[in-house]
Structure 1
Amino acid sequence: MNNKIRVIVAGAGGRMGKEVLKLVLEDEELVLAAAIDRSAKETDAGRLVGLQDSGVIVSSDLEAALAAGNADVMVDFTTPQFAYAHTALAIKYGVRPVIGTTGFTPEQITELDKQCQDQGIGGLIAPNFSIGAILMMKFAAQASKYFPHLEIIEYHGDQKLDAPSGTAIKTAEMISEVREELRQGNPKEEETIEGSRGGYYNGFRIHSVRLPGVFAQEEVIFGGYGQSLKIRHDSYERAGYMPGVKLGVQKVMEYTGLIYGFEHFIE
């Protein structure tokens, strides 16, 4: 097939990066252009994930891979420390970024969108690629029209760097698009331990739990007179994100500009 999408995987040695490598190497519609990891050793990308040798050696030089001119898309699951620079670099070389790393500021997203527009390419930043998680966000936003009193609790492993999670922030943003700001609780409430009420966002609270043994869960709790509603999503393994990653890779080939949020692809 001549229309395969050629993909660079940044953060290939990480847990999500390895899942993306498996996706690209095993999918007939995708082909691996390069595998990048800052702690790379002379290892074949296929062998790194327990597959047959692919002929692609893991490298630490992202710019060289981008400058080679043989990639259509860069998928990045690295860290907030590096993701912005990686995204800007990919756009510079005309490679469409698909970013699963969280921690981007609104100003950075606006700037990256402008860069994509200038280059005439598409890009995607998605705090969550899980289709189930996206549906949870959409259902929560819909419910907030009728249950404006709510709180968000998100759970991740104790090694996650940012809090709240990008998924929780995106959920809060989607709720706030349809819910006017409403300060909840007793106006005279006081925290006897600082931070016990969680982070404040547009009138409601977001709580972040960080514990070993936890993968990724989020629930939105709504309270009303005489009733409550909980909308919850649980992720059990990273492979569950891969159908969304593939869809993101395909979609960025079809438009110009940077889209923030995978929910734009879910009807």
Structure 2
Amino acid sequence: MPTTVLVAGFRGSMGQKATAMIKRDPELELAAVYSPHLETTDPAAYELPATTQVFNQLSAMDTRAQVWVDFSTPAGAFENARFALEHGMTPIIGTSGLSDDQVAQLTQLAKEQHQVGLLVPNFGLSAVLLMQFAKQAAQYFPDAEIIEMHHADKKDSPSGTAVNTAKMIAAGRKQAPETVENPVETIPGARGANYDDVPIHAVRLPGYVAHEQVLFGGPGEALTIRQDSFDRESFMHGLNIAIKQVNRLTGFAVGLENVL
């Protein structure tokens, strides 16, 4: 039997790619979609199969979906994930912007519900590898900065990928980075955001999709690691793996590498 999937945020750029991928795969079934801003719940209005349920309210939701894929908004993703866990669905969250406290709450809820779930900062395999390589490099180059570049309509800054990269750099360090005494910003914010002594610079421009580079500096040398996602279709392979492998987890996890 195919795995039944609900896609929240199905009308967005990633949501549309996700629904198309699910419909193409005979091992998956698009059981339902959800968006709180819909005027009609007729699947024909969205060119969806007649068997796909369409919901615009969580309170009205009664679905046979096993997996909840979330590409909604930072404001809605946390409550969506809570709802999924409380109603027997496995959440796979592709929406960034969740706080550490919210992730901790979802981790605890999954434990209480004897459920599993997955928060994925980036479904691109190149991005997953970049984060792994950055963690390794941080052992030898503790001084690092991140530049992340995304499309102009991305709401949150910095990206979830950049924050997760910073976490992995911090975890990989064996010594503290050098600190500048009394740094001066002639324009506030010039040095970017700071996560665990990793400066993060966010770029939002038309024409970009998702790109990240990590710059490491050491005495007399430097290392740059970069990944580029030129099309959102590149994320679908990782999403497909996540849907099919998420039940291998034993709780709530962060990062696609947990199911690779």
SS at match of 1:172: helix
CA deviations on 1:77-105 (whole Å, 9 max, x unpaired) are 01110000100011111101000011111
Q: 1:64 aligned to 2:95?
A: no
1:75 aligns with 2:69: yes
State the alpha-carbon separation in 1 of the partners of residues 166 and 220 from structure 2: 24
Residue 120 of structure 1 deviates from its aligned partner by 1.6
Match of 2:158 among 164, 169, 181: 164
* 1:148 counterpart = 2:142: yes
Please, which of 103, 107, 110 is the counterpart of residue 101 of structure 2? 107
Work out the CA distance in 2 between the residues paired with 1:20 and 1:80: 18
State how far apart, in whole Å, the 2-side matches of 1:204 and 1:165 are: 14
Q: Label 1:25 to 1:54 Cα distance change in 2 as closer, same or farther (>3 A).
A: farther
Closer, same or farther: CA 117–186 of 1 in aligned 2, 3 Å: closer
Moved more, 194-203 or 136-145: 194-203
What residue number does 1:243 align with? 237
C-alpha distance in structure 1 between counterparts of 2:96 and 2:244, whole Å: 21
Where structure 2 has 5 or more consecutive residues not aligned to the other structure, the ranges are none
Across the aligned residues of Structure 1 and Structure 2, the Cα RMSD in angstroms comes to 2.0
2:249/2:259 contact within 8 Å kept: no
**Aligned residue in 2 for 1:264:** 258
Rounded Cα–Cα distance in structure 1 between residues aligned with 2:236 and 2:198: 32
Aligned partners of 1:60, 1:117: CA distance in 2, in Å? 28
The 8 Å contact of residues 97 and 123 in structure 1, kept in 2 or not, is answered as: yes
Residue from 82, 85, 94 that aligns with 2:88? 94
Are 1:7 and 1:75, in contact at CA under 8 Å, matched by a contact in 2?
A: yes
Aligned equivalent of 1:40: 38
Taking the TM superposition and a 5 Å limit, the aligned residue runs for 1:113-128 are 113-128=107-122
2:6 to 8, 22, 42: 8
The residue that corresponds to 2:26 in the other structure is 28
Q: For 1:118 and 1:184, locate their aligned partners in 2 and report how far apart those are by CA, in whole Å.
A: 42
Q: 1:63: Cα distance to partner?
A: 4.1
The aligned runs of 1:199-218 (5 Å cut-off) are 199-218=193-212
> Take 1:189 and 1:61, find their aligned partners in 2: how far apart are those partners?
49
Whole-angstrom distance in 2 between the partners of 1:182 and 1:201: 13
User: Is the CA contact (8 Å cut-off) linking 1:42 and 1:57 kept in structure 2?
Assistant: no
Query: Percent of pairs identical after alignment?
Result: 39
Q: TM-score, normalised by structure 1?
A: 0.90
CA 1:173–1:207 in structure 2 vs 1: closer, same or farther (change >3 Å)? Answer: same
Aligned residues of 1:182 and 1:202 also touching (Cα < 8 A): no
Is the contact made by 2:208 and 2:230 (CA closer than 8 Å) also made in structure 1? no
Consecutive aligned runs of 4 or more in structure 1 exceeding 3 Å deviation:
41-49, 52-55, 62-65, 183-186
| 2:228 maps to amino acid | D
Secondary structure class of the residue paired with 1:252: helix
Gaps (5+ residues) in structure 1? none
TM-score by length of 2: 0.92
Question: What is the rounded CA distance, in whole Å, between the counterparts of 2:194 and 2:164 in structure 1?
Answer: 14
